[in-house]
Amino acid sequence: MESKMSTIEKHKEGYVKIRVIESLQELSLALKFLKEDLSKNSASKAFMSWKALLSALVVINLEKMPRYEKERKWYYRTGFLAPATSLKRISQRLDELGYKVIYPTAIALQLRRYALNGLYKEASDYANRNEAMKDVIHLSKEIFNLVKTLFKEYWDNEIEEHYRLARKELPNLQGTGPC
């Protein structure tokens, strides 16, 4: 008996496009929050931007991600969403497939801990807010680069517009403030 095709497989292109746009929207908010000196909010949005980008990469590579049947079921049921608790594992698998995402994922996870816990010594990777703010900018640059290079075949006017809107926030930050 033929199995049903999953919803994500049926709407793969649309899902990837939506997640890329979501990534750019979250990134735009992260950079706006950073300008307003709202570092924890900025860190949270930068993390969400990265999570959306990884989700899009997982969907593009959905057939290649699983190595065995149990993993295949997980990716098709949950993994394509790139759950926060699985980002490390997902990034390692994407790295095996040729995507250099382990280091940015580590930064994103550090920003997530900072967004949730602030500078509390036992629960934060940062000694001060400026360190976190610099990582938001670093991760933002990485996202801009990857979106432009990895999603060429999905690029259209809508993605271009969201990219342009988010990108215009970055130059305003580079020469100002503690970063």
Region 6-33: mean pLDDT is 93
Region 168-176: mean pLDDT is 69
Give the pLDDT confidence score for residue 77 in this predicted structure. Answer: 92
Give the pLDDT confidence score for residue 10 in this predicted structure. Answer: 82
CB 57 within 8 Å of CB 150:
yes
Alpha carbons 99 and 37: distance in angstroms, whole number: 32
CA atoms within 13 A on the CB side of 1: 2
Calculate the average pLDDT of the chain: 92
| Phi–psi pair at 124, nearest 5 degrees | -130, 150
Least confident range of 9-13, 17-21, 113-117 = 9-13
Q: What are the extents of the domains in the chain?
A: 7-174
Is residue 51's pLDDT more than 60? yes
Number of helices followed by number of strands (H, E) in the chain: 9, 0
* pTM of the shown model: 0.92
